[in-house]
Amino acid sequence: MGKLTTHVLDTAAGKPGKNIRIELYSLQNDSWEHLKTVKTNDDGRCDTPLLEGSDLKTGQYELVFHAGEYFEETGINLPEPKFLDEIVLRFGVPDASEHYHVPLLVSPYSYSTYRGS
């Protein structure tokens, strides 16, 4: 059964990114359709998969991580405008029967991602 999961690591603090708002979208007929909004838990993960089983379909997806909001809430003094605010990750799902894990490693001035397992 396929699923989509994510987690966030705050690389500046060396700890999970907790309480980060994440929006999930899918590309439908040349426009982005909002599927859900979640927040990470104390371990920087979502309590359940973002999509699972028949809800995960072949296609293009977008995750929007509200990193600027998170760093403000942790008390970091950021300049305006923030260097990183909303981090948008677009990726494809060619086989909906597989597990797609899309983590975000983030600091106020950099981020990276990869396809995890």
Q: 55-106: per-residue pLDDT in tens?
A: 999 999 999 999 999 999 999 999 999 999 999 999 999 999 999 999 999 9
Q: Hey, what are 89's tokens?
A: 């990750």
- What is the band of 13 on the pLDDT scale with cuts at 50, 70, 90? very high
How many domains is the chain partitioned into structurally?
1
The confidence score (pLDDT) of residue 117 equals 86
Give burial (CB, 10 Å; 0-12/13-18/19+) of 107. middle
Q: Which domain holds residue 21?
A: 3-113
Q: What is the pTM of this model?
A: 0.96
| DSSP for 74-108, written as a single string | TT----SS-SSSEEEEEEEES-TTSEEE--EEEET
CATH of the domain at 59: 2.60.40.180
Q: How far apart are the first and last CA of the chain?
A: 14
For 16-28, write each residue's pLDDT tens digit. Answer: 999 999 999 999 9
The confidence score (pLDDT) of residue 69 equals 97
Q: Who has greater pLDDT, 110 or 117? A: 110
